[in-house]
A and B are shown apart, each in its own frame.
Chain A
Amino acid sequence: MTLEIILFVFFAGIAAVTAVLMITRNNAVISALFLVVNFASLAGLYLLLNAQFLAVTQVIVYAGAIMVLFLFVIMLLKPEREKSLTGIPGMKIFAFAIAFMVFVQLGYLIFFTAPSSTITPDVEASINAGTIETIGRELFTNYILPFEAAGFLLLAATIGSLILAKKKIE
């Protein structure tokens, strides 16, 4: 048992358990808080995978900005408790059956094709790939056009959400 395996089991366990807890809670605020823990443990997994830059981005953008937005909207709207909302009868069983079948298929595919037999991990290249230097160089040379497009997308989203959320002018 190396430290890496222990850390993987720790973070993966937290991620899996909080994901399940998130969709089984009735209170929306508690669901959102479990999702924050899930995103934080994913950041730990990204660090294990030598993706330092994305681990930090995950904490700042997802666990920070996006989840604060979610919590803000939940507390602003005070939505009804999940129990009082009635869905289509039998939908739950159908949904879990479908989800279980897809999971079995995915698991079978993953272990049947066995990607670890064809991919030989190169630790040196992996560490180089995750640094902010490599990602920044790629981002500002080969991928400058998508980067600018992402900036425009964020501008459009800012204006769009402002217009959508404000009261109508009479």
Chain B
Amino acid sequence: MAVPIEYYLLLSAFMFIVGVAGVLTKRNAIIVFMSVELMLNSANLSLITFSSFMGNPVGQLFVFFVMTVAAAEAAVGLAIIIALFRNKQTVNIDEINILKW
């Protein structure tokens, strides 16, 4: 463990804020969705870092469940995007505002 824990956490923080910037700036629903996956992965990196440095396997189990939820979320989210595209012929999140009053 030659690399201190701080640098792993700093990389995780960097990937998280890149994901936040992607969600806020992108207008394509699929790329917004990919940025969310990036944020999920940065959280996974933090969990594995702490789990490994403390020698406790529970953090890695949690990452396993996060991956399960991410897979389910990706399948349902992309199905929603396909259904939206079929109705409105666009994936621009500014035009998909039927829930806005």
> Interface on A for B, CB 8 Å cutoff?
2, 4-5, 8, 12, 15-16, 19-20, 22-23, 28, 31-32, 35, 38-39, 42, 45-46, 48-51, 53-54, 57-58, 61-62, 65-66, 69-70, 73-74, 76-77, 79-80, 82, 85-88, 91-92, 94-96, 98-100, 102-103, 106-107, 110-111, 114-116, 119, 121-126, 128-130, 134-135, 138-139, 143, 146, 150, 153-154, 156-158, 160-162, 164-165, 167
17 interchain pairs (CB within 8 A)? A2-B2, A16-B18, A22-B22, A23-B22, A23-B26, A49-B8, A66-B74, A70-B30, A76-B82, A80-B92, A95-B25, A106-B16, A110-B9, A126-B53, A129-B60, A165-B83, A167-B86
Whether B34 pairs with A61 at a CB distance below 8 angstroms is no
- A70, chain B: closest CB distance, angstroms: 6
What's the Cα separation between A20 and B55 when bound, in Å? 32
> Are A70 and B34 CB-contacts (below 8 A) given A8-B3, A153-B68, A157-B75?
yes
- A169, chain B: closest CB distance, angstroms: 14
Whether B85 pairs with A61 at a CB distance below 8 angstroms is no
Q: Mark B1-12, 1 if CB is under 8 A from A, else 0.
A: 111111111110
Whether B31 pairs with A80 at a CB distance below 8 angstroms is no
- Chain A residue nearest to B38 in the complex (CB): A19
> Interface on B for A, CB 8 Å cutoff?
1-11, 13-22, 24-31, 33-35, 37-38, 41, 44-45, 48-49, 51-58, 60-61, 63-65, 67-76, 78-83, 85-86, 90-92, 94
Beyond the given A5-B3, A70-B74, A92-B25, please list 6 additional residue pairs across the A-B interface where CB-CB is below 8 A: A54-B60, A70-B30, A73-B30, A121-B1, A126-B1, A126-B52
Whether A51 pairs with B64 at a CB distance below 8 angstroms is no
Residue in A96, A110, A138 whose CB lies within 8 Å of B6: A110
Whether A50 pairs with B52 at a CB distance below 8 angstroms is yes
What's the Cα separation between A70 and B38 when bound, in Å? 13
What's the Cα separation between A153 and B74 when bound, in Å? 13
